[in-house]
């Protein structure tokens, strides 16, 4: 949410659990089937769950009971204190839908109950787009909140509340941003989510939105586990050297992985014999120029190599080492380890082929820094 309603929650924190239990007659219908609603959200969650608007921790409890790993976000300190007392082991961060600490763990499910309406429709659209960016492959958004089938229906419920003397409820319905279902559906489908709803009481609807992946030029690109499968290979400009990512181990060691692209994807490729010899030559020689090489291996598409380095963070030094290594290839008069004892296909080598690839790559070394 934006923070405009935080004060209301500071005041409401102590009474909140009594309200959800149906003790406040104005909100009896809003919280009818409350336990069932929370269970439905929890039952449809999996993996690591990011929960927005933890409140007093009622949904979090159910998620924990299912053995799920939950990270909570809650802007109200009073609410956080209550939730923390119920769930002392839970991580609850100060934040809201729009502003929260960066989460580095992969997220499988994003949940919230009775919270999404704190965002204006414009904010909802922005937040849904961000959901698509932080969800892991096969991820989903699962939530429950008050929504209305139409403006007419919304006005009818507001008038009904007024006629019953439920002025806290009617003011709430007019003040906060309870949406029309179709508008929310459009926001999700625009970001390539499927959208499923089930009505839980006169106000609250349950929603599951499955993320289908990034939509681009008519092809649906499913979000993949392998970073390079998320790279649009039609947009890159080979040759280039690109940092794919950094993996940090439990003890703080860092593995830097690079994509060294020799050939333009789907336009050109390296012939197998030359590529194979280039692999042998680079694997042997690059280690003379840097100590931190874990691995250098060709890509199956024959357009480049992956290079992994341990605790070495200088991109400039990688380029320098690559240049020196390719010079070594040009100066070589044999392919190292090119025999049946040391290689799996000793017949399939070409020193000349490797040198042609190296020469062309070196000629374009001014372009290595530019990926797109």
Beta carbon of residue 133, minimum distance to Zn ion (angstroms, whole number): 40
Distance CA 359, CA 350 (A): 14
C-beta of residue 191 within 8 angstroms of C-beta of residue 216:
no
Distance CA 53, CA 208 (A): 17
272 near Zn ion, rule: CB under 5 A: no
Give the residue closest to Zn ion by C-beta.
Answer: 343
C-beta of 93 vs 343, nearer to Zn ion:
343
Q: Which long-range contacts (CB under 8 A, 24 or more apart) does 186-191 make?
A: 187/121, 187/124, 187/125, 187/128, 188/128, 188/141, 190/125, 190/128, 191/128, 191/129, 191/131, 191/132
The reply, when asked if residue 338 is annotated as ligand binding, is no
Place of tokens 């090119």: 338
C-beta of 80 vs 280, nearer to Zn ion:
280
Beta carbon of residue 75, minimum distance to Zn ion (angstroms, whole number): 58
Give the closest residue to 110 by CA, choosing from 71, 81, 84: 71
78 near Zn ion, rule: CB under 5 A: no
The reply, when asked if residue 269 is annotated as ligand binding, is no
Beta carbon of residue 285, minimum distance to Zn ion (angstroms, whole number): 15
Binding segment toward Zn ion, per CB under 5 A, in 10-18, 55-63, 266-274, 340-348? 340-348
By CB under 5 A, how many residues form the interface with Zn ion? 1
Q: Which residues pair with 204 in a beta bridge?
A: 146
Beta carbon of residue 86, minimum distance to Zn ion (angstroms, whole number): 60
Beta carbon of residue 228, minimum distance to Zn ion (angstroms, whole number): 23
C-beta of 213 vs 274, nearer to Zn ion:
274
Chain positions 301 to 320 lying near Zn ion, rule: CB under 5 A, are none
343 near Zn ion, rule: CB under 5 A: yes
Beta carbon of residue 335, minimum distance to Zn ion (angstroms, whole number): 9
The reply, when asked if residue 74 is annotated as ligand binding, is yes
Place of tokens 């000349």: 352
C-beta of 127 vs 351, nearer to Zn ion:
351
Is 49 exposed, middle or buried, given 0-12, 13-18 or 19+ CB atoms closer than 10 A? buried
Binding segment toward Zn ion, per CB under 5 A, in 34-42, 107-115, 242-250, 336-344? 336-344
| Measured distance between the N- and C-terminal CA atoms of the chain, rounded to whole angstroms | 36
C-beta of 115 vs 283, nearer to Zn ion:
283
Binding segment toward Zn ion, per CB under 5 A, in 8-16, 22-30, 246-254, 335-343? 335-343
The reply, when asked if residue 96 is annotated as ligand binding, is yes
The reply, when asked if residue 343 is annotated as ligand binding, is yes
Is 147 exposed, middle or buried, given 0-12, 13-18 or 19+ CB atoms closer than 10 A? buried
Q: Which helix (H) or strand (E) holds 293?
A: strand 293-298
Of the CA atoms within 13 Å of residue 52, those in its CB half-sphere come to: 30
Beta carbon of residue 354, minimum distance to Zn ion (angstroms, whole number): 12
Which residues contribute to the annotated binding site? 53, 74, 96, 276, 280, 343
Footprint of Zn ion (CB under 5 A) = 343
Which residues contribute to the annotated binding site for Fe cation? 276, 280, 343
């Amino acid at each position: 949410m934006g923070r405009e309603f935080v004060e209301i929650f500071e005041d409401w924190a102590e009474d909140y659990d009594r309200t959800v239990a149906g003790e406040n007659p104005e909100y009896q219908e809003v919280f009818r089937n409350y336990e069932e609603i929370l269970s439905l959200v929890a039952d449809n969650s999996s993996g690591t769950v990011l929960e927005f608007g933890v409140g007093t921790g009622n949904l979090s409890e159910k998620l924990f009971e299912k053995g799920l790993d939950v990270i909570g976000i809650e802007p109200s300190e009073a609410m956080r204190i209550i939730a923390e007392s119920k769930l002392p082991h839970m991580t609850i961060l100060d934040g809201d839908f729009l502003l929260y600490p960066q989460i580095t763990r992969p997220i499988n499910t994003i949940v919230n109950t009775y919270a999404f309406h704190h965002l204006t429709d414009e904010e909802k659209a922005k937040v849904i787009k961000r959901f698509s960016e932080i969800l892991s492959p096969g991820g989903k958004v699962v939530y429950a909140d008050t929504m209305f089938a139409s403006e007419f229906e919304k006005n009818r419920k507001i008038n009904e509340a007024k006629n019953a003397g439920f002025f806290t409820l009617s003011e709430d319905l007019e003040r906060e941003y309870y949406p029309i279902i179709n508008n929310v559906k459009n926001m999700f489908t625009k970001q390539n989510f499927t959208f499923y709803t089930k009505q839980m009481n006169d106000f609250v609807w349950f929603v599951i939105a499955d993320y289908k992946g990034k939509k681009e030029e008519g092809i649906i690109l499913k979000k993949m586990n392998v970073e390079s499968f998320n790279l649009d290979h039609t947009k890159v400009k080979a040759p280039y050297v690109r940092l794919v990512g950094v993996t940090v181990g439990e003890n703080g060691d860092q593995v830097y992985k690079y994509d060294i692209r020799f050939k333009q994807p789907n336009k050109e490729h390296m012939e197998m014999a030359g590529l194979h010899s280039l692999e042998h030559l680079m694997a042997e020689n690059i280690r003379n120029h840097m100590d931190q090489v874990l691995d250098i291996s060709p890509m199956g598409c024959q357009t480049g190599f992956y290079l992994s380095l341990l605790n070495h963070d200088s991109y400039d030094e990688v380029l320098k080492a690559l240049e020196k290594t390719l010079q070594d290839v040009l100066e070589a008069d044999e392919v190292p380890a090119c025999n049946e004892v040391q290689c799996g296909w000793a017949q399939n080598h070409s020193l000349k082929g490797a040198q042609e690839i190296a020469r062309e790559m070196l000629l374009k070394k001014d372009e290595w820094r530019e990926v797109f």
